[in-house]
Amino acid sequence: MIEDYFNGKNSNLPQMNKNECNFGKWLASDKALIAYSKKEFDELHKMHDDLHEYAEGMLRKDTGSSQIKELKNLSSILLEKISTIIELEK
């Protein structure tokens, strides 16, 4: 996790490439396209891209530890969106 990297608990960065992280791979798969409507898929894709862009900006500016709270907030918003979509599909 990127927080562990900034706090010195892990010297290895998590996967920063939005197409190579586990969720990014899933988004690129046919399963994601089938599971959600075009609008929902586009929203998830944008939120995921924004999350990665924010994290990459933290690394470029080396301001990570001060911005972890906002990164967690973006992550929570994405997870809430996924949960909402799943509930609507039931």
What pLDDT, on the 0 to 100 scale, is given for residue 20? Answer: 92
Report pLDDT for 65: 65
Mean pLDDT of successive 10-residue stretches along the chain, which has 90 residues: 80 87 85 72 90 86 75 90 75
pLDDT, position 83: 86
Q: Residue 75 is encoded by which pair of tokens?
A: 């992550």
Q: Spell out the alpha helix ranges (H) of 16-63.
A: 22-27, 30-35, 38-61
DSSP state of 22: H
Place of tokens 């967690």: 72
Domain ranges of the chain: 2-89
Residues 6+ apart with CB under 8 A from 12: 5
